Chains A and B, each alone.
Chain A
Amino acid sequence: MSEALLQIRSLAVRYPAPHGQAAGAVQALSGVDLDVAAGECLGLVGESGSGKTAILLSILGLLPPNARLGGSIRFHGDELVGMPLKRLNQIRGTRIAMIFQDPMSALNPYMRIIDQLSEVPRVHGGLSRRDAGQRALEMLEAVHIGEPRRRARQYPHELSGGMRQRVMIAMALIAEPELILADEPTTALDVTVQAQILELLQELRERTGAALLLVTHDLGIVAQLADRVGVMRHGRIVEQAGCLALFERPQHEYTRSLLAAMPRLKVPA
């Protein structure tokens, strides 16, 4: 494999116990090693609380202030752990972007769609309001939102769930980042919309060549999108393998039970 786009080494996240208490400290992550190559899709699966989301949050410096972060996260060789906020802000949104789980709560209810989309180009590209708005409209078209001009003037609550997630994706991709972090991007959507959103993600990824770090607990999504898969449990990566290899020859006991837990459609012969 060539030089990794994102290189995580012995990442550890710890929430210390509340002041003056002996118990209650939580080790959210320990000894996580992970590589994401340019253009690749890495799926992270695992049960709730296994630390999938914590990895994403630590990449972009979003962990709550009481979290203790250790280890190293390199993006293009630049260390993100402990990077000054000023430099981190130049990477956020333009080179690494994030898609959140619930688009309703991840969009500002008081801001028109067009203004939310314009934000990244306005903050980073220094574009005028007009140019940024133009860019936002292009992006709305790219994520296949019908009547982009009308939708752009609306507020988040006026859109359907699937459309909101399309807006989220448009927001994440507007600056054509090299790495997209997706935190269960389809969990809040119903099944038919899920399929459309996954298709859209795949399509845009192929067009822009962005790498995707996809966190999910849905193995079906992983099978569909991911090139490689990491299985997480209790804050560690227990198994990492190519997508096919993992589904065909799971090595770790936990992976096997995870696969066995997938619901199957039994059709009588």
Chain B
Amino acid sequence: MNSPWRQRLHGHLGLLIAGSVLMLIALASLIIPALSPYDYYTPQLELISRPPMLSGGHLLGTDPLGRDLLIRVLWGCRISLLIALLASLISVVVGVLWGAIAGYAGGYTDALMMRTVDVLYSVPFVPFVIVLTMLFGRQLWLMFIAIGAVSWLDIARIVRGEALSLKRREFIDAARVSGVHGARMIGRHIVPNLLGVVIIYATLTVPTVILFEAFMSFLGLGVRVPLASLGSLIADGASDMQAHPHLLLVPAAVLASIIYCFNFLGDGLRDLLDPRKHS
């Protein structure tokens, strides 16, 4: 009783492990590059494409320009996690609010808001990003906006559907006859009851966003060289995978474990935050 959170966490081993691994990756990507003698951009031509080895200082080997792969992968984690979190945050916040308001308000408001979503859906994504990069150059923040702008559409649609069915539930009526309305109704009654769906969808969004970013980097629209994201590292590694498989395998393994952890995290969080699961 004195430590309800410990009680709650009990039996959520998967959640704990996934959370710890993500924290570890995030911390490593923040700390190790600052302490390491190597950086992600200086070529060392005498050390081209070394395989991983314990001695010699390059634990995970080097890339075709002789740069330390560990440092490049950790920098890639920084970029990928940053994009994943920020873009997902944008898309979840915008999508949930948009969908909840449309679904709860109904009528013309709903029609107008959802037709806007339809129109945005029909904008082809890749040309849209190309136009953005032509206008503003290759900026990192552009990626947040571009990905966020596209991925909130799905969430808005799903949330709107849920809000439509929630609206007919009796406790919403009960809140209405208590005089609750407007922002308070949406914030206290609609959105909390959407939590389960939103968390699942958000954790599905994070991997999608990371893969989106990888795809854009692959097309040369993502981060600017010499900076790397996990996506661009994988793209580079794939071109050289027969001779130097570690260049593909290391970033791919890291990306896979990040995505796997996020999926676990979503499942666990949903259970943890649902009060009905803790009687």
Residues on A lying within 8 angstroms of B by beta carbon are 60, 62, 65, 85, 89-94, 96-98, 100, 102, 105-111, 115, 119-120, 123-124, 155, 157-158, 168, 171
B residues in contact with A110, CB < 8 Å: 192-193, 195, 275
Residues on B lying within 8 angstroms of A by beta carbon are 106-107, 169-171, 173-181, 184, 188-189, 192-193, 195, 275-276, 279
Q: Which residue of A91, A119, A123, A155 is within 8 Å of B276 (Cβ)?
A: A155
Majority SS of interface residues in chain B? helix
Contact assessment for A157 and B180 in the assembled complex, using a CB-CB cutoff below 8 Å: no
- Least CB distance from A92 to B in Å reads 4
| In the complex, residue of chain A having the shortest beta-carbon distance to the beta carbon of B195 | A110
Contact assessment for B184 and A123 in the assembled complex, using a CB-CB cutoff below 8 Å: yes
Q: Which residue of A90, A93, A157 is within 8 Å of B177 (Cβ)?
A: A93
Contact assessment for A108 and B189 in the assembled complex, using a CB-CB cutoff below 8 Å: yes
Contact assessment for A62 and B276 in the assembled complex, using a CB-CB cutoff below 8 Å: no
How far is B271's CA from A81's CA once the two chains are assembled, in angstroms?
Answer: 44
Contact assessment for B279 and A119 in the assembled complex, using a CB-CB cutoff below 8 Å: no
Contact assessment for A108 and B175 in the assembled complex, using a CB-CB cutoff below 8 Å: yes
Contact assessment for A107 and B106 in the assembled complex, using a CB-CB cutoff below 8 Å: no
How far is B162's CA from A84's CA once the two chains are assembled, in angstroms?
Answer: 28
How far is B148's CA from A221's CA once the two chains are assembled, in angstroms?
Answer: 58
- Least CB distance from A152 to B in Å reads 14
| In the complex, residue of chain B having the shortest beta-carbon distance to the beta carbon of A92 | B179
* Seed contacts A120-B178, A158-B279; 9 additional CB < 8 Å A-B pairs: A92-B179, A93-B177, A96-B177, A98-B177, A106-B173, A108-B188, A110-B192, A111-B192, A119-B175
- Least CB distance from A214 to B in Å reads 16
Contact assessment for B179 and A100 in the assembled complex, using a CB-CB cutoff below 8 Å: no
A157 and B179 contact, Cβ closer than 8 Å, known pairs A65-B106, A105-B169: no
